[in-house]
A and B are shown apart, each in its own frame.
Chain A
Amino acid sequence: MDIKPGSRWKSAVCSAELVVVRPPSSVGLLACGGAEVVPHGSESAAGGDVHPDFAEGVLIGKRYTDEQTGLEVLVAKPGKGSLSFDRRPMTLKDAKPLPASD
């Protein structure tokens, strides 16, 4: 999988959709709910269930990061699965929203 900035992905096992904000420094496997994500435009998803180890869910508008590789993704649609990169759980990035200025 080519995890480019701006590339869009969807979970194979839940409703989550993702956008890559920062690519990882090394190749690896991006997964949601324990299953490898698929490109956003692809018709069919593999299906299956959210793995209980990756079932905390992801929230729309939030960013998740993998500290080891710098990978950062934005959740464009929420889902029941949680994110991992090379089986490492990704963590919610705590960002204080800025006031609107334009």
Chain B
Amino acid sequence: MQTRLLLDIAADACPDRLAVGSFAGGIDFQALRARASAVAAWLKETQAHHAVFVGLNGAELPVLLFAAGMAGMPFVPVNYRLSDTDLQKLVTRTAPGIAVVDDDMIPRLGVIDDVELVSRSAFADRFMAGEAPALQDVPEHENDLAVLLFTSGTTGDPKAAVLRHANLTSYVMSTVEFLGSGEDEAALVSVPPYHIAGISAILTSAYGGRRIVYLPAFTPEAWVETAARERISHAMVVPTMLDRILDVMEKTGERLPALRALSYGGGRMPEPVIARALALMPHVDYVNAYGLTETSSTIALLGADDHRIAIASDDPAIRRRLGSVGQPLPSIELEIRREDGSLCDPCESGEIHVRGEQVSGEYLHKKAIADDGWFATNDSGWLDEGGYLFVEGRLDDVIVRGGENISPGEIEDVLRGLADVADVAVLGLPDDQWGEKVAAVIVSRSGTPDVDAMAAHVRGLLRSTKTPESWFFRAELPYNETGKLLRRVLKAELAESA
């Protein structure tokens, strides 16, 4: 099964429904398919093996994604935020390829052997302007590679995660109801094109019959303004975005009455932020999602009812589920395993393993999935008695102090409960005696943090071995644009200054 099928059946069933863009000037499903077919015919005439995209969000993105799928070429959206050198290196790896590149980014790429650069404006003039072309008949192909996403590796060159048509279509068809969206629904997409959620949003929206509205570059003001103007019903945000969005809404008084569902993921959402969102927009369903590039996006969900039950509960075991990512999707098998491979007991932390058709667990030229289909996520986590999943972060981030495994997330949560702590990161620093010691980096609200009180607070709620021994203070913590804390950057800085 290929991604084109998702668009084909939507375009046949509701040709006139808006697929991408605003009420004024948007593209309907029929036009999206026709334009994608024209682009596919063009791609097939070239000698390219990859269809590359270097640019901001916009209607060209779904057109190119579906076109590449029709033409049997992997679609490769590349992170334009990389340095020029790294960007050139990645694009070089797509040769022979054809790359659609935002006009202002073309000079950054220079000349790359066997990669033809097409400016976005030239692409738009040829394929996006005017009346939609007639539907081109693009014959089916056998290439199962749909999308390549370069993941930021901790060491060495980025790896190209492979998503096959079978992974993506399986994800979409097992999580979304075909045309399950009402005609008035619209999703606001602000994650960048090279993020898995940017890819899956295109596919799930097409199949669900939901209009997509893009925000080319995120600012909280533009997000709120667009959501109001386009009567956005659904959106996905990362934690750092939501906090800033709420600030704007408090200031302007905008309450986004059309918004029905807000999903968040891509990092730990502080409980005060979600509590503030619930108070400001009680009409909205909140969904926490957990997933990886290698799993075609979401594998576990904390739904709206879970949120309501948790927040209303006096039982600490239920209440804490607000900090979980909910239960695995029905189409996913999920296990927590110890280092020796045996299964963990409830509430015992270990490595999260998953299996299912949407799980690719594959990199270019390297399969990372076991023969029995299980994929080791390299994320540490645990399941409670009710099967709710708590994600603690990357296994590499676990602090090993004197043989004891300490999860930074647990300590961060405790510190975040203090009024003076605006933001916090906990990590391990080299230590001669213990191997690693626990360090805390705090963003203080008052500017005059009380270290003894903070340490006493942690010691009171957790074991003394989990109490940070080194304390650092920063004006802000480093995050990437999808809200992931750059722990490695922070760790390198601290190691250098120590």
Contact = CB atoms under 8 A, between A and B. Distances in A.
B197 A102 contact: yes
A101 B298 contact: yes
A10 to B, nearest CB: 10
Contacts of B221: none
Contact of B287 (A17, A75, A95, A99): A99
A6 B144 CA distance: 13
B234 interface: yes
Interface residues of B, number: 38
Given A77-B13, A102-B201, A61 B2 contact: no
A60 interface: yes
A47 interface: no
Interface string A78-100: 00000000000000000101111
A6 B178 contact: no
B177 A99 contact: no
B265 A101 contact: yes
Contacts of B200: 102
Nearest to B235: A100
A55 interface: no
B1 A61 contact: no
Interface string B42-71: 000000000000000000000000000000
B393 to A, nearest CB: 20
B373 interface: no
B297 A102 contact: yes
A101 B287 CA distance: 7
B179 A102 contact: no
A76 B1 CA distance: 15
Q: Is the interface of B mostly helix, strand, loop or mixed?
A: mixed
A3 interface: no
Contacts of A5: 1
Contacts of A76: 9, 12-13, 178
Contact of A61 (B12, B169, B180, B298): B180
A70 B324 CA distance: 34
A60 B236 CA distance: 27
A60 B179 contact: yes
Given A5-B1, A77-B13, A102-B263, A97 B180 contact: yes
A101 B261 CA distance: 9
Contact of B12 (A75, A77, A97): A77
Nearest to B4: A6
Contact of A99 (B8, B205, B210, B261): B261
Interface of B: 1-2, 5, 8-9, 12-13, 169, 173, 175-180, 187, 197, 200-201, 204-205, 208, 210, 234, 236, 261, 263, 265, 285, 287, 289, 291, 297-298, 301, 303-304, 329
26 contacts: A6-B1, A6-B5, A6-B169, A61-B179, A74-B9, A74-B173, A74-B178, A76-B12, A76-B13, A77-B12, A98-B175, A99-B285, A99-B287, A99-B303, A100-B208, A100-B210, A100-B234, A100-B261, A100-B263, A101-B263, A101-B265, A101-B287, A101-B289, A101-B291, A101-B301, A102-B289
Interface of A: 5-6, 8, 17, 19, 21, 60-61, 74-77, 95, 97-102
Q: Which 6 A-B pairs have the closest CB atoms?
A: A6-B1, A101-B289, A61-B178, A102-B201, A76-B9, A102-B200
